[in-house]
Amino acid sequence: MKRQRIAIDMDEVMADTLAKRLAIYRTEFGEELLRESLHGVDIYDAISEERREAVRAQLFIPGFFREIPVMEGAAETIRDLLEHHEVFIATAAMEYPHSFTEKYGWIKEHLPFFPDHNIVFCGDKSIIHADFLIDDSPRHFERFAGQGILFDAPHNAKEDRYPRVGNWSEVRMRFLGEP
């Protein structure tokens, strides 16, 4: 197996950030926002205009990025990927400067084996020098020099320009060739 350099996004890839956002929405508005309603659209386009500001503000709540459930299979797959490939975490933290310490704490808790020197907090991901970038946001692939791999999320359902993985089992199959 050729050793590749794989960069992996955090939110909506390792961390189920959307689950947390939907839970906050439920508490705040006493109403369900269904994943199905987010099919192919940004969360802000799926809700009424008067709720947008409150939903955006979720991301600025201190602690928001610290307490997010880990995606099923993410930790085990990343641990195994590290044995055969060079793996980096590449997360766009600069939009939420309070998130640095929270994201670092999240990684320490959920991926305690992950090497610190392979963590990257950035903004523009075209700065990442890697063979692959696994991300839910196709905008990061536009200037990325390697191959973007789209990780399934409701908002990117209509994107068809990039190879896609549906979950962490598919990441494992693609890069380790085993279920």
Residues catalogued as catalytic: 9, 11
| Shorter beta-carbon distance to a second copy: residue 58 or 126 | 126
| Shorter beta-carbon distance to a second copy: residue 86 or 152 | 86
Burial (Cβ within 10 Å: 0-12, 13-18, ≥19) of residue 34: exposed
Cα distance between residue 179 and residue 164, in whole Å:
17
As measured in angstroms, the least distance from the Cβ of 145 to a second copy is: 6
Q: Which of helix, strand or coil describes residue 70?
A: strand
As measured in angstroms, the least distance from the Cβ of 59 to a second copy is: 15
Interacting residues with a second copy (CB under 8 A): 7, 88, 90, 92-95, 97-98, 100-101, 104, 115-124, 126-130, 145
Cα dist from 64 to 20, 57, 96, 124, 174, whole Å: 9, 10, 10, 22, 31
As measured in angstroms, the least distance from the Cβ of 36 to a second copy is: 32
| Shorter beta-carbon distance to a second copy: residue 32 or 124 | 124
Cα distance between residue 29 and residue 31, in whole Å:
5
Nearest to 169 by CA among 179, 160, 159: 179
